[in-house]
């Protein structure tokens, strides 16, 4: 009776049609907003609002109940009070709906009574051949089919990051922060109280999902721990999994209990388990997204030895300190590289790692230095600090120039083009040598066009050295896990 996992996933991630039970005309209601966002997001399938008291909402015909729809839908979003949920679920099942997302809160997180209703919901749904997501969740995002059926007005672009989170408000935050970093998402799954489908189920879906390259997750607690190890091991053999496990402290554990009602065990146990399984653990959403952006764009490094090239001395110093503190290795420049760079850089170059190009970043100097670093067996990866400033300065000169005949205009244009070409060249080099290169620059966030260029060209760029270093650490952890577990180390970028 129950649909197979792949049918459930199909209905959830690529529904041909969906219904929203509890659709409303009142902009204060979630039943209005979820419908609005589904419409405004441009969902490619058919939408059926359901409400016995309305005829039309936002220009769509409204159906009185689920049994009156013109077709069995793949997906139903339920935005009805807990008291109505069993009746509505029954209608959903009768109508042939495959998956239900229960948005409404007020169930298991409220206590025993709510937990009982959750159990009844699951029994009922399973009997009718349906699977459930939620309750107390935010909805589903799947940009592949322009599906933004969720509470916030967020429409992140299509990308390679798959998210599973037990907190709805963190689902919003993942999308918001990702957007600001130029990152896209494959699916964003707000799993809520997990009465039926659980984090591990969704992680399995994402592991087999061709849209998803890296999996991010926020976890408060595991409900069914039985085969967690085995299932996570299989998932991680396929894709990197980066996770925040909340409830690390007494204060956090209390907060978890009052939030999703999860039981969050001693953090040291999770820490050991995560380490063993190869889950990459992070502390903040920013860290997760930073690592994911490296893992989706860069080949894995062979080790922890980084070569650093900077266009500013202070950043070089900070990068060296942060690398060493993070456990990366800032090896001395090998004599061969020093000799070669003596031919390339001005006589006063600094002759250490980080190489400071402050006076030497002109003509092909930077590119030649980069190529030496890519070729060097002593470096497993490269940090390049300070790109973007040429573009920024060029844009400024153009903006103050008096017309296109002004020498400032010509020079501005020259710099912009020069740096733009450099981007292409360094990306090509990265591909050619299969070595990760991470950029850090505080010009990233404020230079028009730069962020887009990065996104398009699959360059990993960060607004500060320490964030690039943390991201590099994500690459290292993935590489070390694959080495240790002797899973064939296909570069993530060429995985299916």
Smallest distance from a second copy to CB 149, Å: 16
Adjacent-strand bridge partners of 147: 142
The CB density around residue 111, as the number of other CB atoms within 10 Å, is 10
Looking at the Cβ atoms of 4 and 348, the one nearer to a second copy is 348
Buried b (16+ CB within 10 A) or exposed e, 467-494: bbbbbbbbbbbbbebbeeeeeeeeebbe
Cβ-based nearer residue to a second copy, 314 or 336:
314
Nearer to a second copy, 27 or 488 (CB): 27
Alpha helices (H) along 265-360: 267-277, 285-297, 313-326, 335-344
d(CA 389, CA 394): 8
CA–CA gap between residue 146 and residue 231 (Å, rounded): 30
Residue 12 CB, nearest distance to a second copy (Å)? 21
Decide whether 106 or 129 has the Cβ nearer to a second copy: 106
What is the β-pairing status of strands 75-78 and 99-102? parallel
Residues 6+ apart with CB under 8 A from 262: 166, 220, 221, 222, 223, 247, 256
CB of 4 to a second copy, least distance (A): 31
Q: How far is the CB of 464 from a second copy (least distance, A)?
A: 6
Residue 450 or residue 481: which is nearer to a second copy going by CB? 450
The order of strands in the sheet holding 99-102 is 46-50, 17-21, 75-78, 99-102, 131-133
Dihedral sign for Cα atoms in the order 466, 384, 327, 282: positive
Q: How many residues does the chain have?
A: 496
Taking the complex as a whole, the smallest distance from the CB of residue 388 to a second copy amounts, in Å, to 11
Residue 101: strand, helix, or coil: strand
Q: How far is the CB of 385 from a second copy (least distance, A)?
A: 9
Minimum Å gap between C-beta 121 and a second copy is: 19
Residue with tokens 């935010």: 138
Alpha helices in 216-249 (DSSP H): 228-238
Name the DSSP letter for residue 62. Answer: P
Least separation in angstroms between CB 439 and a second copy: 15
93 or 282: CB nearest a second copy: 282
Specify the DSSP class assigned to residue 224.
Answer: -
Q: Which is nearer to a second copy, 186 or 311 (CB)?
A: 311
Minimum CB–partner distance for residue 298 and a second copy (Å): 22
Specify the residue, 110 or 367, whose C-beta has the smaller distance to a second copy: 110
Nearer to a second copy, 52 or 407 (CB): 407
**Alpha-carbon torsion (350, 353, 355, 356), positive or negative:** negative
């Amino acid at each position: 009776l129950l649909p197979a996992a792949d049918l459930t996933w199909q209905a959830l991630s690529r529904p041909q049609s969906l219904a929203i039970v509890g659709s409303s005309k009142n902009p204060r209601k979630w039943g209005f907003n979820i419908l609005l966002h589904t419409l405004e997001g441009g969902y490619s399938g058919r939408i059926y609002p359901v409400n016995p008291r309305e005829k039309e909402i936002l220009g769509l015909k409204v159906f009185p109940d689920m049994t009156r729809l013109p077709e069995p839908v793949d997906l139903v979003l339920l935005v009805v009070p807990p008291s109505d949920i069993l009746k509505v679920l029954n209608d959903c099942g009768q109508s042939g709906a495959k998956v239900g997302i229960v948005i409404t809160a007020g169930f298991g997180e409220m206590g025993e009574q709510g937990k009982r209703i959750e159990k009844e919901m699951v029994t009922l749904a399973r009997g009718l051949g349906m699977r459930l997501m939620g309750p107390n969740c935010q909805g589903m995002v799947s940009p592949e089919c322009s599906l933004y059926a969720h509470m916030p007005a967020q429409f992140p672009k299509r990308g390679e990051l798959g998210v599973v989170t037990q907190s709805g408000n963190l689902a919003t935050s993942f999308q918001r922060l990702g957007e600001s970093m130029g990152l896209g998402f494959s699916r964003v799954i707000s799993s809520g109280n997990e009465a039926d489908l659980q984090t591990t189920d969704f992680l399995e879906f994402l592991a087999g999902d061709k849209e998803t390259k890296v999996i991010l997750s926020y976890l408060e607690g595991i409900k069914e721990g039985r085969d967690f190890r085995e299932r996570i091991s299989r998932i991680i053999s396929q894709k990197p999994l980066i996770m925040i496990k909340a409830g690390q402290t007494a204060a956090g554990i209390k907060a978890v209990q009052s939030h999703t009602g999860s039981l969050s065990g001693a953090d040291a146990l999770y820490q050991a388990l995560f380490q063993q399984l190869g889950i990459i653990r992070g502390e903040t959403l920013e860290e997760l997204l930073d690592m994911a952006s490296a893992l989706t764009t860069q080949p894995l490094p062979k080790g922890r030895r980084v070569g650093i090239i900077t266009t500013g001395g202070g950043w070089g110093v900070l990068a060296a300190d942060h690398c060493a503190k993070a456990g990366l290795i800032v090896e001395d420049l090998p004599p061969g590289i020093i000799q070669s760079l003596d031919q390339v850089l001005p006589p006063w170059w600094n002759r250490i790692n980080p190489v400071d190009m402050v006076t030497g970043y002109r003509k092909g100097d930077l590119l030649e230095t980069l190529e030496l670093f890519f070729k060097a067996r002593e470096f497993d990866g490269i940090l390049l600090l300070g790109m973007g400033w040429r573009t920024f300065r060029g844009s400024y000169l153009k903006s103050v120039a008096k017309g296109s005949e002004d020498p400032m205009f010509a020079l501005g244009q020259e710099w912009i083009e020069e740096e733009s070409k450099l981007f292409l060249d360094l990306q090509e080099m990265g591909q050619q040598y299969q070595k990760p290169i991470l950029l850090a620059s505080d010009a990233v966030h404020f230079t028009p066009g730069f962020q887009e260029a990065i996104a398009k060209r699959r360059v990993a760029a960060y607004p500060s050295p320490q964030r690039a270093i943390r991201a590099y650490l994500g690459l290292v952890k993935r590489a070390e896990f694959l080495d240790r577990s002797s899973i064939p180390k296909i570069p993530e970028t060429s995985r299916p």
